[in-house]
Amino acid sequence: MDVVPIGDVYNRADRTFSLSYWVWSFLAAPAPVPEQFIAAAPTVLVDFMLDTWPEVKDAFPPEVRAAYVKQFRDPATVHAICEEFRAAATLDYQHDEADRGNRKITCPVLFLWSRQGQVAKLYDDPLAIWREWADDVRGEPVGVGHFIPEEALDETTRQLLAFLS
């Protein structure tokens, strides 16, 4: 939901992407730099990430933010998060590029994205991108921010049930 394949993300990255998704580069920086910065101010990081994401700014009440901050206080969790972003920029990207044009997803794919979010702004037709990777792709934009299940539980459930039936 609300992402395109990592190879396409990095191949199409530009200034707008860099400024919108700064956290991808930050978290992918070599250890222990992002881990140490996050350890010093986890609340600042969580609030900044959520507050500068305009389409989701008001979607996270204080108790949800506190739950995120709690996770960002755990060094092992933060390291794992950073490792995920490091893998996306290296191994995952390499795998996508090796698969491009050679392998396709063979099961049906449901792709939902935020109508007002960055995927809609950065990619003219995100379904077309996914159709390069799978033969049976369905989906549509949803009128909420990046956190689609959290912000539109009923719509997400409706889409999933229709897709799975």
- Residues in the chain predicted with pLDDT less than 50, given as ranges, are none
What is the rounded distance in angstroms from the CA atom of residue 163 to the CA atom of residue 165?
Answer: 6
Residue 120 lies in a domain: yes
Name the domain count of the chain. 1
Domain that holds residue 82: 6-164
For position 23, what pLDDT does the model report?
92
Residue 84 lies in a domain: yes
Residue 43 lies in a domain: yes
Residue 72 lies in a domain: yes
Question: Which tokens is 127 given?
Answer: 């379904």
Residue 1 lies in a domain: no
Question: pTM for this one?
Answer: 0.89
Residue 64 lies in a domain: yes
- Find the Cα–Cα–Cα–Cα dihedral 109, 115, 119, 121, rounded to 10°: 150
For position 91, what pLDDT does the model report?
98
Residue 117 lies in a domain: yes
Residue 141 lies in a domain: yes
Question: What CATH number is associated with residue 13?
Answer: 3.40.50.1820
